[in-house]
Amino acid sequence: MNYENGGVALMDRELAGKHALITGSVSGIGLGIAHRLAREGVNITLHGFGDIDRAQTEIAAYGVEVDYNGSDLRYEDQIAAMMTQDHERYGGSDILICNAGKQYVAPIEDCPPEEYHAIIAINQDAAWLSAHYAVPDMRAKNWGRIIITASAHGKRASPGKSPYVMSKHAAIGLAETLALELAETPITANAICPGWVLTPLVEQQISAKAERDGCTPAEAARRMLAEKQPSGKFVTPRQIGGAAVYLCSSDADEIRGAALSIDGGWTVR
């Protein structure tokens, strides 16, 4: 630790050389977390679908090692394969960010059961399974960080999102339970609960609302923010990434089982 700047403690690059597996990190919030951790010198395994080459190039620019896994998290055997790769290459990641997620918006009677099962599998089961495989390696290293991207919907419901709201409440429950199970170790588990963040997952909802309301996407976005997020501004992936860096730092050694809202005031109105 450096003590400069008038006695203010400046965090050194204490995370440099650690390894993070971030699910759903080819776009959106996961990529934002990858940027911020890589800036601290953390080697990254990217995961997910989309423009993988672009994500890899962006993260490699920080001079860290970049790996990739393309497991489909709907399937338990592919999650096991992802965690086996992580174990064999890195003795397990020091930092596990369970971030991949899916949304489907419809009233319960119109939501196809296959969409329900996919949301529960990706948002909820994959987080449990990933942690199940990651914790033994973290215990062996005697250090670890588990962060689950939950949501404001882990604390508040919205109509038309029953599978998503269920899965995000479960994500907070998982972080809390892991925090207790690991409380006497240097391994912490926490959830981050974003409000609206402008990512592909939300762009789909903006387009659908624009079509429903017969307005422009910009107007649909404004209405969505006005309904839920008192700040009237989108949260950014970079801001979520900053919170992840903090939760991984030694300053956060005793933050255990938190469900950190970063939601422009959504859940306190």
State the Cα torsion 132-134-135-141 to the nearest 10°. 170
Q: Which whole-number Å values give the CA distances from 215 to 201, 206, 226, 238, in the listed order?
A: 19, 10, 15, 29
Task: Identify whether 164 is a catalytic site residue.
Answer: yes
CB of residue 46 vs ligand NAD: minimum separation in angstroms? 9
> Which span (13-21, 94-102, 206-214, 248-256) binds ligand NAD, by CB under 6 A?
94-102
Separation of alpha carbons 120 and 161, rounded Å: 12
Question: Nearest-5° angle of CA 120, CA 73, CA 23?
Answer: 105
State the Cα torsion 14-19-22-27 to the nearest 10°. 80
Query: Hey, which residues does 259 pair with through a beta bridge?
Result: 191
> Which span (10-18, 42-50, 84-92, 130-138) binds ligand NAD, by CB under 6 A?
42-50
CB of residue 88 vs ligand NAD: minimum separation in angstroms? 20
Separation of alpha carbons 233 and 221, rounded Å: 10
Contact between 200 and ligand NAD per CB under 6 A: yes
Give the per-residue contact string, 45-64, with ligand NAD (x = CB under 6 A; - = no): ---xxx--------------
- Pick the closer one to ligand NAD by CB: 91 or 232: 232
Contact between 83 and ligand NAD per CB under 6 A: no
- Is-contact 171 189, C-beta < 8 A? no
- Pick the closer one to ligand NAD by CB: 43 or 149: 149
Separation of alpha carbons 253 and 188, rounded Å: 7
By CB under 6 A, name the one of 27, 124, 130, 188 that touches ligand NAD: 27
Contact between 129 and ligand NAD per CB under 6 A: no
Give the number of residues written for the chain: 269
What amino acid occupies position 225? L
Separation of alpha carbons 174 and 259, rounded Å: 11
* Number of residues binding to ligand NAD, judged by CB under 6 A: 27
By CB under 6 A, name the one of 21, 22, 37, 73 that touches ligand NAD: 73
- Is-contact 169 154, C-beta < 8 A? yes
Separation of alpha carbons 269 and 267, rounded Å: 6
Q: Check 68, 75, 164, 246 and give the catalytic one.
A: 164
By CB under 6 A, name the one of 28, 144, 163, 264 that touches ligand NAD: 28
Contact between 102 and ligand NAD per CB under 6 A: yes
Contact between 146 and ligand NAD per CB under 6 A: no
Binding positions for ligand NAD, rule: CB under 6 A: 24, 26-30, 48-50, 72-74, 99-102, 122-123, 149, 151, 194, 196-197, 199-202
